[in-house]
Amino acid sequence: MSHEHEQATEHLHVHRYPPRPDQDDTLTYYRAMEVAVRELLIEKGVFTAVDVRRQVEDMDGRNSGRGAQMVARAWLDPAYKQRMLADGSKAAEEIGLEVGPLKLVVVENTPSVHNVIVCTLCSCYPRMLLGLPPDWYKSRNYRSRVVREPRAVLAEFGTVIPDETQIRVHDSTADMRYLVTPMRPEGTENWSEAELARLITRDTMIGVALADRA
Amino acid sequence: MTDVVAPQFHVGDRVTVRAAYPIGHVRTPYYVRGKHGIIERLCGAYPNPEELAYARPGLPKQPLYRVRFLQRELWANYAGQPADVVEVEIYQHWLEAQEQA
């Protein structure tokens, strides 16, 4: 090792963290293909760079508040809940939530059934209602384990399901997307729809958590 | 000729997933192949994703079902409760009527 190099290394040690590399991304085969296709479509006038940016912004801006609005309505209105369980997409549109081509299946937690959602093949997720999926939802750990040891995985989330409650894991392998309606906590009888919606978090609608007054 | 295959199964029917292992874009998970389940619902008919993946039209559309499997049927040493289930979407061309025991 040259003297110069030693000095440079020592200089780096002065900073607590190594500097971030200038290029924080690698241009892989599929990334190059995405850039090429996007540029061609913009050149051909199919859409503009502004359209792309706006779509990304919209996608990033969506959050689980949309799903929570649906579930809160279902908690308050039994007739709405029945329509929602029969046809999730139609029920979303009924309260003004645009879901596009999404085919939504809503499943209901009860004292005898607990539902949890996964996509073992990739990361299918009801993005129109919950926003972007959390990183753990896309991890191999969650995807491979929740279908074969759901009780153990749920316990790691702090969610312990009683033995007498059946667990139903829903694997979104094809065209449907799933949303769990958690059980409404006791002691919320006179709460408004907006108050209730605050208890209905992303994780309760994936099924890895229970709605809780705390 | 219609572009939709007629549904062949009804809710509650016992079915077996084909134990086939073709290469390509297949949306039938390995862990249910060759396993027995029950039709939970018919989800409608959709273009075959195994064809769509190669830029073909995927017609005729295939009926898509949600099939319910007992965890005990899928995993030899399932550690949860006997009533626990997994529900998976499977296209009709992957399903066969289960032989009566």
pLDDT per residue as tens digits for the range A144-167: 999 999 999 999 999 999 999 999
Cα–Cα distances in angstroms (integers) from residue A115 to residues A69, A146, A179, B43, B70, in the given order: 19, 11, 9, 18, 14
Percent of chain A with pLDDT over 70: 90
User: Averaged over B5-28, what is the pLDDT?
Assistant: 95
Q: Which of B37, B48, B29, B35 shows the shortest CA–CA distance to B11?
A: B37
Q: Is residue B15 within 8 Å of residue B36, measured between CB atoms?
A: yes
Cβ neighbours, 10 Å, residue A204: 23
Q: Which residue has the higher pLDDT, B100 or A207?
A: A207
Whether B8 is in a domain gets the answer no
Res A98: pLDDT: 86
Residue A167 touches chain B, beta carbons under 8 Å: yes
CATH of the domain at B25: 2.30.30.50
| Contact call for A148 and B91, based on CB within 8 A | no
| Contact call for A174 and B27, based on CB within 8 A | yes
Whether B1 is in a domain gets the answer no
Residue A120 touches chain B, beta carbons under 8 Å: yes
Whether B4 is in a domain gets the answer no
Pick the CATH number of A63-206 from 3.90.330.10, 3.40.1160.10, 3.30.1280.10, 3.40.50.300: 3.90.330.10
Indicate if the pLDDT at residue A51 is higher than 60. yes
User: Averaged over A112-136, what is the pLDDT?
Assistant: 94
* Pick from B78, B81, B89: CB nearest A173: B89
Give residue B67's Cα distance to chain centre.
6
Look over chain A and give the mean of its residue pLDDT values, rounded to a whole number.
91
Q: Which of A84, A96, A95, A90 shows the shortest CA–CA distance to A179?
A: A84
Whether B59 is in a domain gets the answer yes
Residue that is written with structure tokens 């971030």 in the block: A20
- Select which of A89, A119, A139, A144 is catalytic: A119
Residue A43 touches chain B, beta carbons under 8 Å: no
Look over chain B and give the mean of its residue pLDDT values, rounded to a whole number.
94
Indicate if the pLDDT at residue A129 is higher than 90. yes
Res A10: pLDDT: 52
pLDDT classification of A1: cutoffs 50, 70, 90: very low
Indicate if the pLDDT at residue A2 is higher than 50. no
SS3 category, B95:
strand
**Please, which contacts does A163-166 make with residues 24 or more away whose CB atoms are closer than 8 Å?**
A163/B81, A164/A112, A164/B81, A165/A111, A165/A112, A165/A113, A165/A114, A166/A112, A166/A113, A166/A114, A166/B81, A166/B83, A166/B84, A166/B85
Whether B28 is in a domain gets the answer yes
Indicate if the pLDDT at residue B24 is higher than 80. yes
How many domains does one find in chain B? 1
Please give the DSSP secondary-structure letter assigned to residue A121.
S
User: Does residue A123 have an active-site annotation?
Assistant: yes
pLDDT classification of A25: cutoffs 50, 70, 90: confident
| Contact call for A168 and B84, based on CB within 8 A | yes
Res B100: pLDDT: 65
Whether B64 is in a domain gets the answer yes
* Distance from the B101 Cα atom to the nearest Cα atom in chain A, whole angstroms: 26
| Contact call for B81 and A171, based on CB within 8 A | no
Q: In chain A, at which residue ranges do the beta strands (DSSP E only) sit?
A: 103-108, 113-118, 166-171, 176-181
- At residue B9, what is the residue type? F
pLDDT classification of A100: cutoffs 50, 70, 90: confident
Res A169: pLDDT: 98
The values of phi and psi at residue A71, to 5°, are -65, -40
User: Averaged over A4-19, what is the pLDDT?
Assistant: 57
pLDDT per residue as tens digits for the range B73-101: 999 999 999 999 999 999 999 999 997 65
Whether B56 is in a domain gets the answer yes
Residue B46 touches chain A, beta carbons under 8 Å: yes
Domain with CATH 3.90.330.10 in chain A: 63-206
Residue B63's domain spans which residues? 14-97
* Distance from the A167 Cα atom to the nearest Cα atom in chain B, whole angstroms: 5
